[in-house]
Amino acid sequence: MDLSFSAADQAFRDDVRRFLDTALTERLRTAGRLSTSVYAEREVMREWHAALYAKGWIAPGWPVAYGGCGWSVSQRYIFSIELARASAPGLSPMGLGMCGPVLIGHGSAEQKAFYLPRILSGEDFWCQGYSEPGSGSDLASLQMRAEVDGDHFICNGQKIWTTHAQYANRIFCLVRTSREAIPQRGITFLLIDMDTPGVRVDPLIMTSGEHVQNQVFFTDVRVPMANVVGKVGDGWTVAKYLLEFERGGTAYAPDLTVRLEKIRAMAQTERAGDGLRLMDDPAFATKLAEAGSEIAALEFTEHRLMSTLSQGGSIGMMSSMLKTRGTELSQRLTELALEAIGPWASPFQPHATMPGGPVPHHKAPNDPSPIGPDHALPVMAKYLNDRAGSIYAGSNEIQRNIMAKGILGL
């Protein structure tokens, strides 16, 4: 079995490296390196999105007809590896990775023609309105109502945990258009403009102090019926289609591999000028080695998926497996990174990092010089933010239920 990339793939990798060398400005690389979240801060995302769009590389996974790159599955994987190696900032996935693919799969010709170019250019910024208080894991119990009034719906209800709603000009929502005995029926997938009268966004602050999530309230919001994606009452089919992209659209191993290397480098540095290096502690070295082999196993699983996809197969249940392993290993790395920096985890200094959103209750000190080495700055906030990885996009317990039923037949 030959696991190396072909000569053509290696030439592609060199092309990508050449592009990243120039397109990733010092500001963008610093933002990527000091990032505390899976997303970069809004202005950084805007700048990086514009650079990728100008190059024609903003939506590698989309079909060429809609603005995709026409890359093979392995080229897309190589692109992920190179982005991780170059510390490229993370982009918001709600438009490019979720709404776009859903519109390509289920949208009308008019919806595709109108929305897709705006997602590509960055003119539209989307957020996801699925979860409600009491309807997260049990999503089908959602209550936000949409009642017909002529050729419009009147929407009332609340969404919660809505990432980036404070920036988004559009939201895709699951709404209840009828009450049926089976709750999955009577749900509709609806596109709503955030500037429609009656939409209100309230911030939710994360444990890291960052404002990335929100609650969104809808009071008598009028939405054209033309904004339904798929059929009225058939939103559950569309919602499930989207979740496959949300859970499986990410290659985890490239980013995890780069982060593991960084932790190894941190552990090889003296922490307190006493000549002691954490890497010399066999217990820590063992934990690092264990994480390394689990990441390698995940990487092989991703390669296996690449092979399935390149033969025309679909991701299916594997999205649950990758989401679960990817987020668990990510959390493990945040713990190892904390151990590696030791006391440097204590200072609260968002002004010295690149938070994923504003930190409203933080005032930079008079002397804003960072405390501790550069590599230690984002570690604590990243640890806190990463706790959410096993909750969002469907909690890992729910993924295990899906695998138990779908793969093991339990």
Ligand X SMILES: Cc1cc2nc3c(=O)[nH]c(=O)nc-3n(C[C@H](O)[C@H](O)[C@H](O)COP(=O)(O)OP(=O)(O)OC[C@H]3O[C@@H](n4cnc5c(N)ncnc54)[C@H](O)[C@@H]3O)c2cc1C
Is 394 among the residues that bind ligand X (CB under 6 A)?
Answer: yes
The enclosing H or E element of 308 equals helix 282-310
| Cβ atoms within 10 Å of 304's Cβ, excluding its own | 11
For ligand X, which is the closer residue by CB, 162 or 250? 162
Q: Which range binds ligand X by CB under 6 A, 102-110, 116-124, 160-168, 347-355? A: 160-168
List the catalytic residue out of 246, 299, 302, 339. 246
Interface with ligand X (CB under 6 A), residue total 19
For ligand X, which is the closer residue by CB, 162 or 334? 162
Length of the chain: 410
Residue from 177, 213, 319, 327 that binds ligand X (CB under 6 A)? Answer: 213
| Cβ atoms within 10 Å of 169's Cβ, excluding its own | 13
| b/e sequence 94-122, b meaning 16+ C-beta within 10 Å | bbbbbbbbbbbebbeeebbeebbebbbeb
Give every CB contact of residue 330 below 8 A, 6+ residues apart in sequence. Answer: 252, 255, 256, 259, 386, 389
**C-alpha 279: how far from chain center:** 31
Q: State the nearest-atom distance from the C-beta of 194 to ligand X, in Å.
A: 13
Is 397 among the residues that bind ligand X (CB under 6 A)?
Answer: yes
State which amino acid sits at residue 158: Q
Q: Which two tokens stand for residue 233?
A: 């009452």
Residue from 175, 187, 388, 402 that binds ligand X (CB under 6 A)? Answer: 388
Q: Which two tokens stand for residue 127?
A: 């957020």
For ligand X, which is the closer residue by CB, 205 or 232? 205
3-state secondary structure of 188: strand
CA 39 – CA 324 distance, rounded (Å): 19
Is 214 among the residues that bind ligand X (CB under 6 A)?
Answer: no
Q: Which range binds ligand X by CB under 6 A, 155-163, 186-194, 239-247, 314-322? A: 155-163
Give every CB contact of residue 2 below 8 A, 6+ residues apart in sequence. Answer: none
Decide if 246 is catalytic: yes
Is 209 among the residues that bind ligand X (CB under 6 A)?
Answer: no
For ligand X, which is the closer residue by CB, 208 or 257? 208
3-state secondary structure of 187: strand
Is 38 among the residues that bind ligand X (CB under 6 A)?
Answer: no
Residues numbered 113-132 forming contacts with ligand X, rule: CB under 6 A: 127-131
Q: State the nearest-atom distance from the C-beta of 388 to ligand X, in Å.
A: 4
Q: Which range binds ligand X by CB under 6 A, 53-61, 64-72, 225-233, 392-400? A: 392-400
Is 401 among the residues that bind ligand X (CB under 6 A)?
Answer: yes
For ligand X, which is the closer residue by CB, 271 or 325? 325
79 torsion bin: left (phi>0), alpha (psi -120 to 50), beta (else): alpha
For ligand X, which is the closer residue by CB, 36 or 131? 131
273 torsion bin: left (phi>0), alpha (psi -120 to 50), beta (else): left
Phi/psi for 204 (5° steps) reads -120, 130
Four-CA torsion 13, 16, 21, 23, nearest 10 degrees: -170
Q: Which residue is nearest to ligand X (CB)?
A: 136
Residue from 199, 225, 391, 403 that binds ligand X (CB under 6 A)? Answer: 391
Is 236 among the residues that bind ligand X (CB under 6 A)?
Answer: no
DSSP label at 268?
T
Q: State the nearest-atom distance from the C-beta of 181 to ligand X, in Å.
A: 20
Q: State the nearest-atom distance from the C-beta of 204 to ligand X, in Å.
A: 9
Residue from 74, 158, 162, 353 that binds ligand X (CB under 6 A)? Answer: 162
Is 334 among the residues that bind ligand X (CB under 6 A)?
Answer: no
Residues at the contact surface with ligand X, assessed by CB under 6 A: 127-131, 136-137, 161-163, 213, 388, 391-392, 394-395, 397-398, 401
Catalytic residue IDs: 246
